[in-house]
Amino acid sequence: MMTTLPSGDVARLRATVDFVREQDTPTLLSLLLPGLDGPELRTVVDRCRFAHAALLVFPPHPQALRAMLTACGLASDTPAQPSVVVRERLALRHGRAVTELDVEILRPTVAGLDGAQRMVEVFALTVPEGSQLTEIAEHERAWQHETHLAFEIEDPDPLLLRGLCAVFRRHGAVPDGGGYTPHEDGTVFYFAAPVDAKAGCRRVELYVPGDHRDVLAAHLDGHRAQQPAESLLRLLTGAWTTQALAVFAQLRLPEAMDVATGNRIELLARTVGADPENLATLLRYLVMLDVVAADRTGFRLTELGALLRADSKGSMRPLALMYGGPFYQSFAGLGHTVRTGQVAFDHLFGENHFDHFARDPELAELFDQSMAASSHMFEPLPAHPVVMAAGRAPVPKTVVDVAGGTGELLGRLLAAHPRLRGVLLERPHVIEAARRSLDATGCGERCAYRAGDFSDVPADGDIYVLSRVLHDWDDDRCREILRHCARAMPAHADLLIVERVLPTDGSISLATSWDLHMMCNVGGRERSADHYARLLDAAGLTYVDRSPLPLDGSVMHARKTAGSSMT
């Protein structure tokens, strides 16, 4: 068939091919980053190489794209892959659904005059004649948002990557987004070129193989810092994210979706009983959160989204339902808490959350499941020196888990150390669930159960555990709980306290977030290590040390103070 090629796109593609053929890395870096010279230039040249120049074209159909490649001396059989980053940028820039923008990426090779093999990165959005996408094509041709130069970092060391990003910023390049592309396992860092750049291109990409989203997060923070109004708007819409994740879990969408294969929206809507158009809106939002992914086959679950499946290992579904349910409602009363000092949850529901959940079996079960959902925090605890020593002792030792929930932590300790025995102290309605949980791990025969409150801490244990207990209470109640433990503990016993500890240097920590949560919903608080040491001292206990745990957790070790009267 006769193929009419968009002449403007062909001319731009041909000019890009010539540019890639004629450039070399040192010259191009000098033009791109004025002021980068001498030893610093040599250092950067040694660490990265000019890899490609990119542009976005708009063929009317796939055959036209192949014809354009041929017309510019490029291999027409170059394979195509979906372009996640550019598709999302176009959707955001033009207010369109990601699923409407089927952007492909092709990378035909070009031999440079210096003998180096490089590529022309061709982004292609098919825009048939009369298509509603014509307006997007006209805008993008005029502004060339996606035209950029790319340098590939050959050593994916995170420290080196941070250093190169810093060099680009120091010489005037401004962070301008980026992303991780899972199908090719690569991370891109976009910069706006310095205003005095002489390379003839306004955007620059650093590409590094592998998943470097930790470094990317800092880069994106730099991008947002250039746009404070956008940053604030994103913060203000945080509640939408909480509810979107909660509804995703409520509808059982994670169970209805597959990680490998996409599902059409109509099928998903029928499966979960939802309106197709509104469900598509929800899923497009979740694409931005990397909870689901979209391609030409439909929507599929990501590894992140799979954590919201009820049957997934380490499922966080209960947390989504809890944070999007009762705790979400009570956070609307945060202002009341800040003004009056009263707990928002109590103000809203007329009772504290422990009593409220205890009276509702479904809520009580959800709360216990949500506590267990953060069990990743406990993974290093079986290797704690105190636990290791007890597990190797010639005479079986006993671990007393005070208010230990359904026994998630106690079960880990007993499973890792077959000679240990356990005692679980909990409220009566939790005991049966704990018994089932520990029986399922095969540790039930080595565990005894005590129904009661903090005044009933069993005596004569060897290790006492308080896991995420003290942050529920004010200082007076904490001192009381610790005194009950001290009275029950023999002189040789150890106390392990698992909490998130507030940093004292102003660093970012989940503990700071949970401090707000505890204040609003429970009336408790997170504390610094020094604060815990003072509480322990008042209860006749001595703070020994602290070790880090996942999820910004810590385990603090304490023992009875010599000569303490807490007996």
CATH number for position 548: 3.40.50.150
Residue at token pair 């504290």: 352
343: helix, strand or coil = coil
Backbone region of residue 90 per phi and psi (left: phi > 0; alpha: psi in -120 to 50; beta: other values): alpha
The token pair at 198 is 């002489």
Tell me how far apart the alpha carbons of residues 61 and 124 are, in angstroms, rounded to a whole number.
10
From 212, 471, 484, 517, active-site residue: 471
77-93 exposure pattern, b = at least 16 Cβ within 10 A, e = fewer: ebeeebbbbbbbbbbee
Residue at token pair 């102290």: 425
Instruction: Based on the fold, state whether residues 256 and 144 are members of the same structural domain.
Output: no
Tell me how far apart the alpha carbons of residues 197 and 179 are, in angstroms, rounded to a whole number.
24
Instruction: Based on the fold, state whether residues 471 and 550 are members of the same structural domain.
Output: yes
Burial of residue 392 (number of CB atoms within 10 Å: 0-12, 13-18, 19+): exposed
CA quadruple 294, 298, 299, 303: dihedral, nearest 10: -70
Q: Is residue 330 part of a domain?
A: no
Instruction: Based on the fold, state whether residues 525 and 430 are members of the same structural domain.
Output: yes
The token pair at 272 is 């979960």
Q: Are 302 and 336 in contact (CB under 8 A)?
A: no
Instruction: Based on the fold, state whether residues 145 and 40 are members of the same structural domain.
Output: yes
Instruction: Based on the fold, state whether residues 178 and 267 are members of the same structural domain.
Output: no
Q: Is residue 351 part of a domain?
A: no
Q: Are 344 and 520 in contact (CB under 8 A)?
A: yes
Q: Which of 201, 226, 251 is the last residue of a domain?
A: 226
Q: Among candidates 185, 524, 148, which has minimal Cα distance to 354? A: 524
Q: Is residue 132 part of a domain?
A: yes
Instruction: Based on the fold, state whether residues 278 and 392 are members of the same structural domain.
Output: no
Q: Which of 282, 309, 324 is the last residue of a domain?
A: 324
Instruction: Based on the fold, state whether residues 59 and 165 are members of the same structural domain.
Output: yes
Q: Is residue 354 part of a domain?
A: no
Domain encompassing residue 246: 233-324
Tell me how far apart the alpha carbons of residues 316 and 406 are, in angstroms, rounded to a whole number.
16
Look at residue 59 in the predicted model and tell me its pLDDT: 94
Instruction: Based on the fold, state whether residues 290 and 410 are members of the same structural domain.
Output: no
| Active site (annotated) includes residue 212 | no
Tell me how far apart the alpha carbons of residues 383 and 385 are, in angstroms, rounded to a whole number.
6
Q: Is residue 363 part of a domain?
A: no
Tell me how far apart the alpha carbons of residues 339 and 214 are, in angstroms, rounded to a whole number.
37
Look at residue 230 in the predicted model and tell me its pLDDT: 64
Look at residue 38 in the predicted model and tell me its pLDDT: 84
Length of the chain in terms of residues written: 567
Q: Report how far apart, in Å, the C-alpha atoms of 397 and of each of 80, 218, 402 are.
A: 62, 46, 16
Instruction: Based on the fold, state whether residues 220 and 94 are members of the same structural domain.
Output: yes
Q: Are 335 and 348 in contact (CB under 8 A)?
A: no
| Chain mean position to CA 484 | 39
Q: Which of 289, 324, 359 is the last residue of a domain?
A: 324
Confidence (pTM): 0.63
91: helix, strand or coil = helix
Instruction: Based on the fold, state whether residues 89 and 113 are members of the same structural domain.
Output: yes
Q: Which secondary structure element, helix H or strand E, spans residue 184, and what is its range?
A: none
Q: Is residue 353 part of a domain?
A: no
Task: Give the other-Cβ count within 10 Å of 433's Cβ.
Answer: 18
Instruction: Based on the fold, state whether residues 199 and 237 are members of the same structural domain.
Output: no
Q: Residue 242 sits in a domain of what CATH number? A: 1.10.10.10
Q: Is residue 174 part of a domain?
A: yes
Domains identified in the chain, total number: 3
Q: Is residue 109 part of a domain?
A: yes
Beta-bridge partner residues of 188: 179, 207
Look at residue 458 in the predicted model and tell me its pLDDT: 96
Instruction: Based on the fold, state whether residues 23 and 155 are members of the same structural domain.
Output: yes
Q: Provide the strand spans (E) within 171-310.
A: 174-181, 186-192, 203-209, 292-295, 298-301
Residues with Cβ within 8 Å of residue 202, at least 6 apart in sequence: 144, 147, 148, 192, 193
Mean pLDDT by 10 residues, the chain (567 residues): 72 94 93 88 91 95 93 94 85 81 93 92 93 90 90 86 90 86 84 86 90 87 66 81 96 92 91 94 87 84 91 90 93 95 93 86 84 82 96 96 93 96 93 91 94 94 97 96 97 97 85 93 94 97 94 94 69
Q: Residue 198 sits in a domain of what CATH number? A: 3.10.180
